[in-house]
């Protein structure tokens, strides 16, 4: 059974801190890994990673994939209160018809 | 439309009743997905459509759950004889990926329908 595990489950940091969120996976026929931010209901897309070692960056957020060790990290630098959300990691497998999600990391950024 | 829309946003029903949840994907997206998200969990895959056909329905939990997409755009998720355990947020997503693998498989999510079964 495909499995995606995220850590930590929750995290509280002060504004300005840098955080690293982890995602490991055990799946058959890996295709790509995606990160989403979920604030209320709809997850919003952050990154899609397919190749190992290539960092993707968007503003203060960046992510990288290690296909040998089967994990990805999401970094957020200079955190702001607006970064408070649940961050979801998901993996496409097989025919890429569906995403298998982790349980998410709940990030709270305080003043 | 500009994004994926879902109706209703909230649905409260009684155990044993029938419910229908609607999803309107991004215009032109041929791929449509339904997920279910319970409190404190990540979304769990239910079914994937390419055009009008269900390409993968392996996530439907039992035969009380059924989904259709008759014209290849709007989809309806139907739940018969609802049970308290069906209470969750039901999310719909769409992407431009085709059966031939063209397009992007980045999935865009709707705001979800929160279903509560009393």
Q: What is the pLDDT of residue A96?
A: 57
Residue A34 near residue A48, CB atoms below 8 Å: yes
**A81 φ, ψ (degrees, to nearest 5):** -60, -30
Contacts of A45 in chain B (CB under 8 A): 106-108
Size of interface A-B (CB pairs under 8 A): 60
Nearest Cβ partner of A103 from B40, B106, B109? B40
Decide if pLDDT at B101 tops 90.
Answer: no
CA A44 vs. chain centroid, Å, equals 12
**pLDDT value of position A91:** 94
Average pLDDT, chain B: 93
CB-based burial label for A16 (10 Å; 0-12, 13-18, 19+): exposed
Report the gap between the CA of A79 and the closest CA in chain B (Å).
23
Set of chain A residues whose Cβ sits within 8 Å of the Cβ of B111: 40-42
**Is B107 in contact with A99 (Cβ distance < 8 A)?**
yes
Q: Do B48 and A98 make contact, defined as CB atoms within 8 angstroms?
A: yes
Q: How confident is the model at residue A41, as a pLDDT?
A: 79
> How does pLDDT run across A53-68, given as a tens digit for each residue?
899 999 999 999 999 9
Q: What pLDDT shows up at residue B103?
A: 79
**Chain A within 8 Å of B63 (Cβ-Cβ)?**
no
Which chain A residues are within 8 Å of B105, Cβ to Cβ? 32, 48, 92, 96
C-alpha to C-alpha distance for B5 and B112, rounded to whole angstroms: 8
More confident residue, B8 or A98: B8
Residue pLDDT, tens place only, A4-22:
999 999 999 999 999 999 9
B25-29: which pairs have CB atoms within 8 A and are 24 or more residues apart?
B25/B73, B25/B74, B25/B75, B25/B92, B25/B94, B26/B1, B26/B2, B26/B94, B26/B108, B27/B1, B27/B73, B28/B96, B29/B94, B29/B95, B29/B96, B29/B108
Instruction: Pick the residue from chain A with its C-alpha nearest to B47.
Output: A98
Chain A partners within 8 Å of B60 (Cβ): none
């Amino acid at each position: 059974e495909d499995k995606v595990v995220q850590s930590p489950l929750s995290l509280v940091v002060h504004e300005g801190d840098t955080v690293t969120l982890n995602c490991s996976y055990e799946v058959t026929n890996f295709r790509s890994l995606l990160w989403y931010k979920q604030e209320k209901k709809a997850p919003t897309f952050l990154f899609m990673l397919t190749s190992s070692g290539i960092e993707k960056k968007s503003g203060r957020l960046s992510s990288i994939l290690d296909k040998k060790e089967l994990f990805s990290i999401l970094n957020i630098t200079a955190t702001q209160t607006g970064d408070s959300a649940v961050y979801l990691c998901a993996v496409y497998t097989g025919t890429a018809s569906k995403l298998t999600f982790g349980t998410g990391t709940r990030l709270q950024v305080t003043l | 439309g500009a994004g994926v829309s879902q109706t209703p946003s909230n649905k409260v029903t009684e155990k044993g009743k029938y419910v229908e949840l609607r999803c309107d994907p991004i215009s032109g997206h041929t791929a449509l997905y339904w997920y279910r998200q319970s409190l404190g969990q990540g979304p769990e895959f239910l079914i994937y459509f390419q055009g009008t056909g269900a390409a993968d329905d392996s996530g439907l939990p039992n035969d009380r759950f059924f989904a259709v997409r008759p014209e290849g755009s709007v989809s309806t998720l139907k739940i018969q004889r609802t049970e308290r355990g069906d209470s969750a947020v039901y999310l719909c997503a769409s992407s431009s990926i085709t059966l031939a693998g063209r397009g992007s498989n980045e999935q865009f999510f709707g705001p979800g329908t929160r279903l509560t079964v009393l």
